[in-house]
Chain A
Amino acid sequence: MSDELDRIRREMHAVLQQPGVRPDDSLQITRRTFIHRSLLFGAASVGQTFAWWPLLNTIDVAHAAEAPFKFAWISDTHLYERSLNTRFVDKVVRAVQEVQAMDPPADFLIFGGDLAQLGKIEELELGVELLKDLTIKKYYIPGEHDWYLDMGKKWGELFGQPNWTFDHKGVRFIGLDTVSRGPDYWTVKKMTPEERMGHMATLDGTVAGAWAGVGRDQLDWMQKTLADWDKSKPIVIFSHNPLYEYYPPWNFWVRDWREVNEVLKPYTKVTNIHGHVHQVLYNEIGSMRSIGMLATSWPWPYAPEGVPKLTKPMIRADPGDHYDGVGWETVNVNADDKVDVEYIMWGRKEVFVQSDPDSSLSQPEKLRPRMADNMWPY
């Protein structure tokens, strides 16, 4: 697996990391998102070099905002029915209360997918009920856990079109559906909807395969949507999965990242904000910045390989505290036309690791993919 991943990464590097191409200089780094200074200036880096980097106090997604504003992000709530798991419910309630209490209020909320755990009607409706207490405008994109029980039927009834666009104070926002175009792994094997959902709901499953993708039709839609947008004006794209290749065995990517890059390449101020990974992530691909968001449900460890070198890892969560390692985010567009992503990790003042033992990456791992899900009867 590693050889294949290395090959893909080399290809991605050759295709996307053109010499001298970086996100627009006017973009800086927020006080909550950090970057390795040596990489900023092109210094060589090999392997897992998340050594304790100098912190830049501002990253940013720049743009020409007409007025300062902020919005909030919640995702990956993975709700079961209330009778089965109350912890996940409690955490959604807390996130909703905190977003509602923002002062000044957020202009809108983005819900970044995986509202439900197993795509059940009861789970999706529970999510709607819990989020109802949040009175600001809400936009939803789907996650794979929302979709593969009934192929998005209930989700569509509740939330409408899975991809959308709107302009807000000088920024073009786009929501993408990166989950619904998975290759059909169920028909030939005569799976029930529950079996189909079960394979999709297993992050390290081997049956559902490379399901994450944008799709040619949606790429064409995005290209058309951006056609009238000035190439130097800011664009923020929301997706459930990251729009670059991080770790395909867990679908920490979209399989058509090349085509995504082709569409976005002409635009100089593109920021992708994504869920799915349940962890702090930061990357730059060509002129696009990419920021990974926390789940409210549970944190995932970093993948055994492929963690972007620009990511300052989040602190290793305490498994005894189900409020640790999870939370939500504010995205604050300030008066200087910068966007400041702030991780609200419950129970932690310091989101990022400060020393090696506090990182899940401190012990290198060599992992094998699971095997039992590919044996009889599948």
Chain B
Amino acid sequence: MTIRATVLGTLCRPSFVVAIAAVAVFVGPTSAHKAPHTPEQLKLYEDLLMEEVRKGDLLFHGDAATAKQMNVVLSTTGMACAMCHPMASDTHPQSYPKFQVETSKFATLRDMINWCIEKPNQGEKIEIDSEAMKALEAYIHWSNAGSVLVPGKH
């Protein structure tokens, strides 16, 4: 319980990384799949997701401090993702992977995120498995939760 309280108390703070390390040591992953999940574990997993969603939400809405902290340049025009995609609308994460007309490739959501960063936003594309990419993906998926999976749909 001490660990859980610590984690909850550190949400939204830089020391969150420490909490993640603590989770790795104390609650998994070696035992996580061998014993029934405890409510504390489930809450922790949810908190971990929501921290990624929070960071992704801020990046998606052009928060300069978060972009600086994560060392990314997602736009140089003043535009932010959310200006064309309020509430992550019209991102359709449920439709990936699919052939993407813009890139003439069979693409993932991450590919399209990078295309938007580079083209409309005139920013610098980010590593495909970077922390910023995972946060953006977490926010877009979370915001669109409830939509039906339709891979390939245009």
Contact = CB atoms under 8 A, between A and B. Distances in A.
Interface of A: 80, 84-85, 87, 117, 202-204, 249-250, 298-301, 303-304, 319-320, 322, 357, 360, 362-373, 375-376
Given A319-B102, A368-B145, A372-B61, 7 more contacts: A80-B78, A204-B82, A362-B153, A363-B92, A363-B150, A365-B90, A365-B144
B123 to A, nearest CB: 13
A305 B57 CA distance: 21
Contacts of A203: 82-83, 86
Nearest to B62: A202
Contacts of A117: 78
Nearest to B50: A371
Interface residues of B, number: 38
B89 A375 contact: no
B120 interface: yes
30 contacts: A85-B78, A117-B78, A203-B82, A204-B82, A298-B79, A298-B84, A301-B85, A301-B90, A319-B84, A322-B120, A360-B90, A362-B153, A362-B154, A363-B92, A363-B94, A363-B95, A363-B147, A365-B144, A366-B145, A367-B87, A370-B57, A370-B82, A371-B53, A371-B54, A372-B54, A372-B61, A373-B57, A373-B61, A375-B12, A375-B54
Given A85-B77, A373-B61, A250 B142 contact: no
10 nearest A-B pairs in the assembled complex, by CB-CB distance: A366-B146, A204-B86, A301-B90, A372-B57, A367-B87, A80-B78, A203-B86, A204-B87, A85-B77, A372-B54
Binding site secondary structure of chain A: loop
B119 interface: yes
